[in-house]
């Protein structure tokens, strides 16, 4: 372990935070791919949101829509995928902490679910706007 890693560990920080440059980029990319794989394999809601996004974005190219409409639809669906990743992360962290019923754990999970609902409502509104203004 380097001196920098020893200082970080002593301060209660992760020794992995010391990586910089291309090595950090390579590691971060690998961790992100691991996250996508974990979400796909373990989270049915993530798979559903991805399939909805694929269908929605695909449909936007099949329909005669202006480029700005396709871009908005793709953006709205990608936001929903991102929100589902964050929601799944919150749920995993809460479940790791404790499987006991706790009001704050329920609140954290409910807030993540509400964020996902808001992103899906956003996608539906975007679809309506684009379809009504083509």
Among all residues, which ones are annotated catalytic? 84
Scan for tokens 């691991």, then name that residue.
34
**Alpha-carbon span 117 to 79, nearest angstrom:** 12
**Alpha-carbon span 4 to 29, nearest angstrom:** 23
Report how far Cα 58 is from the mean position of its chain's Cα atoms: 20
Q: How many residues are recorded in the chain?
A: 134
């Amino acid at each position: 372990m380097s001196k920098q890693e020893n200082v970080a560990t002593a301060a209660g920080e992760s020794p992995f935070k010391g990586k910089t440059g291309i090595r950090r980029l390579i590691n971060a990319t690998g961790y992100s791919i691991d996250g996508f794989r974990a979400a796909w394999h373990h989270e049915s809601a993530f798979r559903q949101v991805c399939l909805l996004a694929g269908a929605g974005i695909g449909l936007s190219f099949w329909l005669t829509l202006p480029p700005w409409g396709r871009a908005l639809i793709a953006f709205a669906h990608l936001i929903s995928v991102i929100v589902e990743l964050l929601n799944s992360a919150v749920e995993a962290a809460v479940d790791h902490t404790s499987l006991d019923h706790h009001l704050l754990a329920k609140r954290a999970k409910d807030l993540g679910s509400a964020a996902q609902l808001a992103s899906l409502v956003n996608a539906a509104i975007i679809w309506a706007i684009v379809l009504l203004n083509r």
